[in-house]
Structure 1
């Protein structure tokens, strides 16, 4: 059973690739028409929004597109004609540059055999005899060819031109029918998927259509702007036919990666033909590379990040795959085709692996990534993500959305026996390092290595000890206003103690004087008489502590702090006590650290306003 399923998947994938390869003569025009229909969809929608019927809007969009392409073609043909007329005067310079490059590359290689054979007996003689043998003239075979007739030349020219023109005409006809019959095609696909999957099918079609449309529109704008900038730069450098090279750059950038290399090489070669020296070619190439780097690493990630759902690696892999299957057409269509597969994988179970492997953002939550990185010991990546998160939000929200759910996943694996001792130690050490960095307020710095052994001290105890080392035994001065301290109390077990210390970190990050104590540390007599300083007590929800012991601690807190509200935060973890029993013993049950922060923040603001009034 386990071997049968992978075999079936491999057989299905092989048949699909074979169908794509051997059926490319039929599939390529259809795919081109479908992709172009998605590219024209935003323009058609904009025209329909003006109150024009869809049929008329379709022909208007086609007319505008064909007119724009025809105009651009006329300009390019004129530029090409001018370039062809000027080529003879550049030919001598190109030959001279090629000869110079050949000499520069051959001279070091020509000296290499002599240097290697120097001192070897008979090397000079053999080398001389070899050169003499090479210098002998060989008879040149004579081939008699019949003269080619005008009819044969014309037939050959028609055959060369009719292929591309026939393909273009076929794609244009298919495009017209696809655009006019788009709604009917959508209904057929919905009917094919089944009535039960109507909503998912429509959602998938809409996502694919909008994703490809946004990608094409963004790519079109970026490439046109890039071509215009390149044209202006070349014109300022004094390179002739700058419009032609600008158009070449804009068109070739639609081909992933290879197009930019071809455009840059063509510009450098032409600049070398124009200028007697190498200065103009090197300057043009350097400016092209600089603009390409800025576009690829600064502008495109910002633009395509909202228009494409594929990772950078996925773009390269898709280009390699589709170019191998369909050649140049596949290379041009690689990104939109793969993008459609990535979107379809979100709704079709069989294509889900494609989405997981190629999507820009993997289908994993922030909590899952936290757990995976903690399990592998990658504390630097966790801290980098936390730094980005904390720039826009609070530590309380980070704990609610990332740390605590990630810890719940870790505890599930630990209790299920799915991790070994090495992974467990790595997990605890990584979490301790992250927590220690957050506690030290180093959201923008690098984490330092811990010297504490996590086998001898829990993470919560470590955080509290660090705070006591910095602020004193009572984690701060006791010479503070009445009702200004928020107290977090719990029992000395791993989960509850860590939750208590995390809450203290989140509250202190918001500017609240939060401190923690453990109810079972056996140091009650040494604690100062500071009950009048406490405004709120957060009691850790019983997870590993028996409810009876937790209930007794609540009674003791009620006796010592009769006027202070007792609040708890219910965890989203297995093993927690019954909610009804806990709610009957405290004044309020909150659901998150953010709610806790909102609960104590008004008290802090009121005290600050009262102090300012004095």
Structure 2
């Protein structure tokens, strides 16, 4: 009579073990599927960058200009008219900047060798500690030259190949830019049509309301962030350009534009700007002490912008931790080059804002945040304690 309870308890343990094993298999299968999806998505983004890069740029430009379109719509200007005006203005700004900056940038690229020689001469007094490293480099170069076979000849690229490659790259860039502005025009002019199509995919009214609230919250926060950061970077570039002009730096417009563009790369962009300005200042001014004023001024502007202006205007909630920023910049620069690096942080903010609006993804948003964020459960507990208190 006592064997039946023992058998039943053994069967219960066996069933629980089977359930645990099946749950573990399900979690393993889910993790494998997620890993396969991430791997395939990365491959698709890499090999399909000619399509995905202008499309994502168009969406980012649309989100940046959406608050202006919405503001003008409240003033009675139709969305199609305001979208056309903004896109044409953007084209004019980019074309004017390219025209004004093309000459100085080409001159800098052509004078790269002379700039390096002048910098070496200016830093001759600091060259002694590096003499051994330079000698080692020359020895390695000599060993490489002698290691070549006697009949081996160096391959020279024909000028026609260079021209054809440059023409192909120019055509590809022109096509991508056209796609960006045309798609942005249609997205801005469509108004809420895109959101309405998303809402129509849900069945119940409660799901429609929740989806509409999430979509509008995400769109509003991202649009505000992108537009605000674009304005801040433009102001930073203007201040740096005017300050370098007052110091007598050559081509201050180039360095102001570079500071504005590179500031979309936190930490890395500011460092690149400071180094470039320091190099040009060292070969442009007579004394090293005066030449150091230019990079010091750029550093001061970056510190004020990064520590005071942006946190005060944008807010701490949308700040991203430094580790995630460096990983994102490295990943997107590998994926899409310099353009991908510029898009890394805006895309990271998009992901963070999207994750913050869904409970299942809140841990991802918390990981991306620069500081500890409160979860939905924490807010519920806080509200309950406040009510009971």
Cα shift readout 1:304-326 (whole Å, capped 9, x = no counterpart): 21673645555445444544555
Aligned match of 1:44: 69
2: CA distance, partners of 1:88 / 1:2: 64
Shift of the alpha carbon at 1:348? 3.6
Please say if residues 20 and 27 of structure 1, whose CA atoms lie closer than 8 Å, have aligned partners that are also in contact: no
Aligned match of 2:194: 185
Whether 2:239 is the aligned partner of 1:239: answer no
Aligned match of 2:42: 21
Shift of the alpha carbon at 1:185? 1.8
Please say if residues 235 and 242 of structure 1, whose CA atoms lie closer than 8 Å, have aligned partners that are also in contact: yes
2: CA distance, partners of 1:334 / 1:2: 36
Q: Tell me, what secondary structure is at the counterpart of 2:192?
A: helix
Shift of the alpha carbon at 1:267? 0.5
Aligned match of 1:61: 86
Please say if residues 47 and 57 of structure 1, whose CA atoms lie closer than 8 Å, have aligned partners that are also in contact: yes
1: CA distance, partners of 2:333 / 2:114: 37
RMSD: 3.8
Please say if residues 359 and 376 of structure 2, whose CA atoms lie closer than 8 Å, have aligned partners that are also in contact: no
Please say if residues 94 and 273 of structure 1, whose CA atoms lie closer than 8 Å, have aligned partners that are also in contact: yes
Aligned match of 1:11: 32
Aligned match of 1:169: 178
Out of 261, 267, 270, which is 1:257 matched to? 267
Q: After superposition, where does 1:586-605 map in structure 2 within 5 Å?
A: 592=389
Q: Quick one: structure 1 residues 311 and 405, their matched pair in 2 at CA, closer, same or farther if it must change by over 3 Å?
A: farther
1: CA distance, partners of 2:317 / 2:147: 63
2: CA distance, partners of 1:357 / 1:175: 31
Please say if residues 29 and 171 of structure 1, whose CA atoms lie closer than 8 Å, have aligned partners that are also in contact: yes
1: CA distance, partners of 2:154 / 2:329: 45
Cα shift readout 1:263-321 (whole Å, capped 9, x = no counterpart): 11110111112134432332222222232222222222222216736455554454445
Q: Tell me, what secondary structure is at the counterpart of 1:239?
A: coil
2: CA distance, partners of 1:161 / 1:365: 49
Aligned match of 1:492: none
Q: Quick one: structure 1 residues 188 and 15, their matched pair in 2 at CA, closer, same or farther if it must change by over 3 Å?
A: farther
Shift of the alpha carbon at 1:27? 2.8
2: CA distance, partners of 1:80 / 1:271: 16
Shift of the alpha carbon at 1:88? 8.4
Whether 2:95 is the aligned partner of 1:70: answer yes
Aligned match of 2:167: 158
Cα shift readout 1:554-584 (whole Å, capped 9, x = no counterpart): xxxxxxxxxxxxxxxxx93xxxxxxxxxxxx
Q: Quick one: structure 1 residues 250 and 147, their matched pair in 2 at CA, closer, same or farther if it must change by over 3 Å?
A: closer
Whether 2:227 is the aligned partner of 1:217: answer yes
2: CA distance, partners of 1:4 / 1:153: 55
Shift of the alpha carbon at 1:356? 3.1
Runs of 5+ consecutive residues of structure 1 not aligned to the other structure: 112-129, 372-400, 407-570, 573-591, 593-614
Aligned match of 2:118: 93
Q: Quick one: structure 1 residues 335 and 352, their matched pair in 2 at CA, closer, same or farther if it must change by over 3 Å?
A: same
Q: How many residue pairs are counted as aligned between the two chains? A: 356
Cα shift readout 1:397-432 (whole Å, capped 9, x = no counterpart): xxxx79x949xxxxxxxxxxxxxxxxxxxxxxxxxx
Aligned match of 1:363: 374
1: CA distance, partners of 2:227 / 2:211: 24
1: CA distance, partners of 2:63 / 2:368: 21
Cα shift readout 1:181-208 (whole Å, capped 9, x = no counterpart): 3422212222234434111211111122
Q: Tell me, what secondary structure is at the counterpart of 1:246?
A: helix
Please say if residues 278 and 295 of structure 2, whose CA atoms lie closer than 8 Å, have aligned partners that are also in contact: yes
1: CA distance, partners of 2:284 / 2:120: 12
Higher RCO by CA contacts (8 Å cutoff, separation 6 or greater): 2
Shift of the alpha carbon at 1:106? 2.7
Q: Which has the higher helix share?
A: 2
Question: If you compute each CA radius of gyration, which structure gives the higher value, 1 or 2?
Answer: 1
Q: Quick one: structure 1 residues 275 and 321, their matched pair in 2 at CA, closer, same or farther if it must change by over 3 Å?
A: same
- Identify which range, 241-250 or 321-330, moves more after superposition: 321-330
Please say if residues 79 and 243 of structure 1, whose CA atoms lie closer than 8 Å, have aligned partners that are also in contact: no
Q: Tell me, what secondary structure is at the counterpart of 1:192?
A: coil
Q: Tell me, what secondary structure is at the counterpart of 2:275?
A: helix
1: CA distance, partners of 2:226 / 2:255: 22
Q: Quick one: structure 1 residues 144 and 227, their matched pair in 2 at CA, closer, same or farther if it must change by over 3 Å?
A: closer
Aligned match of 1:434: none
Please say if residues 236 and 260 of structure 2, whose CA atoms lie closer than 8 Å, have aligned partners that are also in contact: yes
Cα shift readout 1:354-395 (whole Å, capped 9, x = no counterpart): 223224551248988xx9xxxxxxxxxxxxxxxxxxxxxxxx
2: CA distance, partners of 1:64 / 1:92: 42
TM-score (norm 1): 0.51
Aligned match of 1:558: none
Please say if residues 93 and 276 of structure 1, whose CA atoms lie closer than 8 Å, have aligned partners that are also in contact: no
